[in-house]
Amino acid sequence: MGGEFDWTVIWKYREALWDGMLTSLKLFAIALAGGIFFGTLLALARLSSWKALSLPAAGFVNLIRAIPFIMAIFWFYFLTPMIVSKFTGQQGEAVGPFTSAVVAFIMVESAYYSEIIRAGIQSIPRGQPAAAYALGMTYWQSMGHIVLPQAFRNMLPVMLTQAVILFQDTSLVYVVALKDFLGAASKAGQLTGRIVELYLFVAVVFFILCFAASWGVKRLQARLAVAR
Amino acid sequence: MAMIEIRNVSKWYGAFQVLKDCTSRVEKGEVVVVCGPSGSGKSTLIKTVNGLEPFQQGEIVVNGTSVGAAKTNLPKVRAQIGMVFQNFELFPHMSITDNLTLAQVKVLGRTREAAVEKGHKLLERVGLLNQKDKYPGQLSGGQQQRVAIARALSMDPIAMLFDEPTSALDPEMINEVLDVMVELAREGMTMMVVTHEMGFARKVAHRVVFMDHGQIVEDCTKDEFFGTPRSERAQAFLSKILHH
């Protein structure tokens, strides 16, 4: 190291870095949407009085939450191609790091979100679904119009906090050689020998994005507190 | 044929029996008040009528449909029976108008315009049309309960169930709710009302059912009940709540 920082490398590799950021954001968005959707279904399954639903759901959530995130990503990188080839009969058809990362992220995030949403549903007084049923609504109408909207509202700050954590966790995909934002910066750093500048840049970008999001969550919390 | 027919209904929570062989009926146009000490099972009984509480033995028939039967379309039965809860249970995330129209649109398939018209007509009836755009949290308890009654009526129910509708209210708000209920009773609505308001019972009830320890110990006309109660427990309960 020459003692002097050379920040021009960031500009020079801006396209690769931007592509990496897009990959990170894409993974984040898919994992968030999938995690909330399947997390909601998992939460409903766990709260079901039907044991054939609640027990497997509880088992899945506890299993996923008990293993390190990075293990799940590794697993799916190697497992999804095997499962896919089992079903399609084609041998050795790799699904690629992005698809397997997406599968891993959705499964892990749905387990985390299901716990948040379950707590949200349980925070709604039992009289609310009872009133919906008394008006002739079905289970899904009661959930969709009465229980879940209130549960999501109560849980919004926690869900957004989890989203911030999720965004940071997208950098874990470097283990399956997926070129996300951090991966792109690493590559550029190795090529130019300016790894310190690039990692500092990555840290600053993550800090700005996540700090802004946390600040937004705080403001939202204050607004929700007034509205109630 | 009775509008609501309760035959030998028993219910257990684990080993604890909350309802013991309860039998009663509500005829069309009849107002039946269910009273008794707390923990006597009266709230549980009224919730079995629209299937909000399951029961293990006996049968409940509402307008010809058996509520407990496995093949019964419970939402369809419930849509015909209005219910008013102790804690109002308005939907706090919706405006008063939306509270009144949601089930009309989603359950009965009415158009939004027809539902709003119906809802506002009923709001006017309970004296709260000027609150139509507010949220439940902005209303007093008495106002919320009147909205809840209007919401139940918006479904054009064939019978109304009231589960201690005034128990959660401040004393000065009880009458505004009871007035609405009295008016409803005088119009000939079929009503089953769990309440401690004996004044209401005296005014409009046709029959009084008295429960204790999960059993129906009295089931008689209003005059019989207030005149010469036949059971000691009913006598003791009445003297307790009438002397203050």
Joined together, the tokens standing for residue B187 give: 């119009």
**Cβ-defined contact of B52 to A133 (cutoff 8 Å):** yes
Nearest to A127 among B81, B89, B108 (CB): B89
- Cα pseudo-dihedral A10, A15, A16, A19, rounded to 10: 130
What lies within 8 Å, CB to CB, of B137 at 6+ separation is A228, B92
Chain B, 73 to 92: residues with Cβ < 8 Å from chain A are 74-76, 78-83, 85, 87, 89-92
Tell whether the model's pLDDT for residue A1 goes beyond 50.
no
**Cβ-defined contact of B106 to A134 (cutoff 8 Å):** no
**Cβ-defined contact of B103 to A135 (cutoff 8 Å):** yes
Nearest to A136 among B79, B85, B91 (CB): B79
Task: Give the closest residue to B147 by CA, choosing from B173, B170, B171.
Answer: B173
User: Do strands B207-212 and B215-221 pair parallel, antiparallel, or not at all (unpaired)?
Assistant: antiparallel
**Cβ-defined contact of B91 to A128 (cutoff 8 Å):** yes
Q: Which residues of B touch A147 (CB under 8 A)?
A: none
The pLDDT assigned to A94 comes to: 62
DSSP code, position A147: I
Q: Which residues of A touch B81 (CB under 8 A)?
A: 134
How many angstroms separate the CA atoms of B138 and B7, rounded? 42
Compute the nearest-CA separation of B81 from chain A (Å): 8
Compute the nearest-CA separation of A175 from chain B (Å): 44
pTM greater than 0.90: no
Joined together, the tokens standing for residue B1 give: 């044929």
Taking the Cβ of residue A144 and every Cβ of chain B, the question of whether any pair is shorter than 8 Å is answered with no
Q: Does residue B163 sit in helix, strand or coil?
A: strand
Best interface-test mutation with B: which of A49, A126, A135, A138 has the largest number of B CBs within 10 A?
A135
Nearest to A135 among B93, B137, B155 (CB): B155
How many angstroms separate the CA atoms of A92 and A78, rounded? 11
3-state DSSP percent of chain A in helix, strand and coil, to 5: 85, 0, 15
**Cβ-defined contact of A125 to B87 (cutoff 8 Å):** yes
Taking the Cβ of residue B238 and every Cβ of chain A, the question of whether any pair is shorter than 8 Å is answered with no
Compute the nearest-CA separation of A32 from chain B (Å): 25
Taking the Cβ of residue A128 and every Cβ of chain B, the question of whether any pair is shorter than 8 Å is answered with yes
The pLDDT assigned to A96 comes to: 77
How many angstroms separate the CA atoms of B54 and B74, rounded? 11
The pLDDT assigned to A218 comes to: 86
Tell whether the model's pLDDT for residue B88 goes beyond 90.
yes
Taking the Cβ of residue B110 and every Cβ of chain A, the question of whether any pair is shorter than 8 Å is answered with no
Taking the Cβ of residue A161 and every Cβ of chain B, the question of whether any pair is shorter than 8 Å is answered with no
Q: Does residue A202 sit in helix, strand or coil?
A: helix
Length of chain B: 244
Tell whether the model's pLDDT for residue B141 goes beyond 90.
yes
Compute the nearest-CA separation of A128 from chain B (Å): 6
Nearest to B52 among A125, A134, A153 (CB): A134
Q: Which amino acid is at A47?
A: L
The pLDDT assigned to A90 comes to: 67
**Cβ-defined contact of B52 to A138 (cutoff 8 Å):** no
The pLDDT assigned to A194 comes to: 87
**Cβ-defined contact of B78 to A145 (cutoff 8 Å):** no
Q: Which CATH architecture has domain A2-227?
A: Orthogonal Bundle (1.10)
Per-residue pLDDT of A167-218, as tens digits, reads 999 998 888 888 899 989 988 888 888 889 899 999 999 999 999 998 988 8
Q: Which residues of A touch B115 (CB under 8 A)?
A: none
Task: Give the closest residue to A172 by CA, choosing from A97, A83, A110, A79.
Answer: A97
Taking the Cβ of residue A134 and every Cβ of chain B, the question of whether any pair is shorter than 8 Å is answered with yes
Q: Categorize the per-residue pLDDT at A227 as very low, low, confident or very high, splitting at 50, 70 and 90.
A: low
The pLDDT assigned to B226 comes to: 85
Tell whether the model's pLDDT for residue B83 goes beyond 80.
yes
Per-residue pLDDT of B91-124, as tens digits, reads 999 999 999 999 999 999 999 999 999 999 999 9
Per-residue pLDDT of B189-234, as tens digits, reads 999 999 999 999 999 999 999 999 999 998 999 888 888 766 777 7
pLDDT over 90, % of chain B: 84
**Cβ-defined contact of A127 to B85 (cutoff 8 Å):** yes
* β-strand partners of B57: B10
Taking the Cβ of residue B152 and every Cβ of chain A, the question of whether any pair is shorter than 8 Å is answered with yes
Q: Which residues of A touch B53 (CB under 8 A)?
A: none
Per-residue pLDDT of A54-64, as tens digits, reads 999 999 999 99
How many angstroms separate the CA atoms of A184 and A188, rounded? 6
Per-residue pLDDT of A110-163, as tens digits, reads 999 999 999 999 999 999 999 999 999 999 999 999 999 999 998 998 999 999
**Cβ-defined contact of A125 to B75 (cutoff 8 Å):** no
Q: Categorize the per-residue pLDDT at B87 as very low, low, confident or very high, splitting at 50, 70 and 90.
A: very high
**Cβ-defined contact of B106 to A228 (cutoff 8 Å):** no
Taking the Cβ of residue B105 and every Cβ of chain A, the question of whether any pair is shorter than 8 Å is answered with no
